[in-house]
Amino acid sequence: MGTHEKTTFQRVSQNSSMEEQNAPFLDNASDEELSAPVYTKESTRSTRWELYLNIALFFSSVVFFAVSMAVKSTGPSDIECATKMNAYSPVMEAVEYEWVTFENEFSTAPTKYRGKPTAELEQAWTDLWKYGAFPVPIEKLGALNESSDVDWRRVHPGEPNSPTAGLLEGFHQIHCLNLIRQYTYKDEWDYTNYSSWGGGPDMVRWHVDHCIETLRMNLMCTADVTPYLIWNDPEGFNGESPSFNTLHKCRKWEPIVDWVKKHVVFNGTAKEMAEDEARKEMMDHGDHDEHSHHEGHGDEHEHGHNPF
C-alpha cells in the first residue's frame, strides 16, 4: 500500500494581531486606497444642490404631465375652435353657444316669422337684421383676404389709419331670406316703400336672384351634417313623417345683435348719409321744413340702412 502524507493544521495564536492575519491581502494595496474619504464643504454643497435640482426636475415633470393631461382632456374652447375655423371678425368676442332643438314641425301653423304678411311680422323680420356698420381695423384686411389697395369706405374718411366699415354677413343673409319671403307675398303686401324693392321690377328680380345665390353658397359652405329621422306615421304622407326637430349647437343671436348696436358707426349708404348730412345742415341754419323732415324719416322699416 502507498504511503500518505500526514496533513497537519497549525492553530493561529489568539494573540496574533489583525494586521498580521490580514497582511497577505493588504500587501498590494496603496496608501491612497486605504485612506479614509475626505469630505469638504464644497463637495457637500455640490451634492446638496444636485439633490435639490433632481427634486425640482421631478416635480416639474409631474406638473407638466398633469397640465398636459388636463389640456388634452378638456380640449380647446368653443370660441377657440370658432376663431380657428372662421375668418377674422371683431364680433367674435360676442359669440356665445348653446344647444338648441329646433321647433320645426312640418305644418302650416303660424309663428312669429311664418305666415302671411302683417305689420307685426314684417317688423319682427326687420328686427333680426336691420343694424348698421361697425369698425374693422385696417390692419385686418389681410385676415379677410382683402387688399389695402382698394378704396374701402372708412369710418373716418381721409385718415390713413381709420378703420374700415363692416356689415355683418349673418345680417345680410337674414336680409336675403327676408327678401325672398317678401317676394313670395308681393301680390298680397305693398313693399313699394322698402329700399330693397327700389329700382323697378327688373332690379328687384336681380336682387332676389342674388339673394338665392347668397344663401346657396352659405348653406353649401356650412354643410349641416345633422341627420333628421323619419318615423312611421299612419296619418303621414305615404305612412311616414320626417322629424325636423333636430339638435344643433347654435350661436346666440341676441348677444351678436347687442354687440353690433354698441359698435355702430353709421347707418345707410354713402348717398343716404350725404342726404342726412345735408338735412342736418339745413336744420342748423333754420331752413328745415316739414316736407324735408318727413323725407328724412321715410319708411320706419327700411330707410337709413344699406339695402344689401
CA–CA separation, 54 and 68 (whole Å): 21
Query: Tens of pLDDT along the chain (308 residues)?
Result: 444 444 444 444 444 444 544 444 445 545 545 455 555 556 666 777 777 778 888 888 888 776 766 655 578 899 999 999 999 999 999 999 999 999 998 877 778 999 999 999 999 999 999 999 999 999 999 999 999 999 999 999 999 899 999 999 999 999 999 999 999 999 999 999 998 999 999 999 999 999 999 999 999 999 999 999 999 999 988 999 999 999 999 999 999 999 999 999 988 655 555 555 555 556 666 544 444 333 433 343 444 445 45
Q: Is the pTM of this model over 0.85?
A: no
CA–CA separation, 81 and 91 (whole Å): 15
Q: Identify the H or E element spanning 241.
A: strand 240-243
CA–CA separation, 261 and 148 (whole Å): 27
The answer to whether the beta carbons of residues 83 and 227 sit under 8 Å apart is no
Three-class secondary structure of residue 165 per DSSP: strand
Three-class secondary structure of residue 158 per DSSP: coil
Any residues with CB less than 8 A from the CB of 180 and at least 6 apart, and which?
Answer: 208, 211, 212, 215
Task: Count CB-CB contacts under 10 A for residue 282.
Answer: 15
State the DSSP string of 175-235.
HHHHHHHHHHTTTTS--TT-GGGTT-HHHHHHHHHHHHHHHHHHHHHH------EEEE-TT
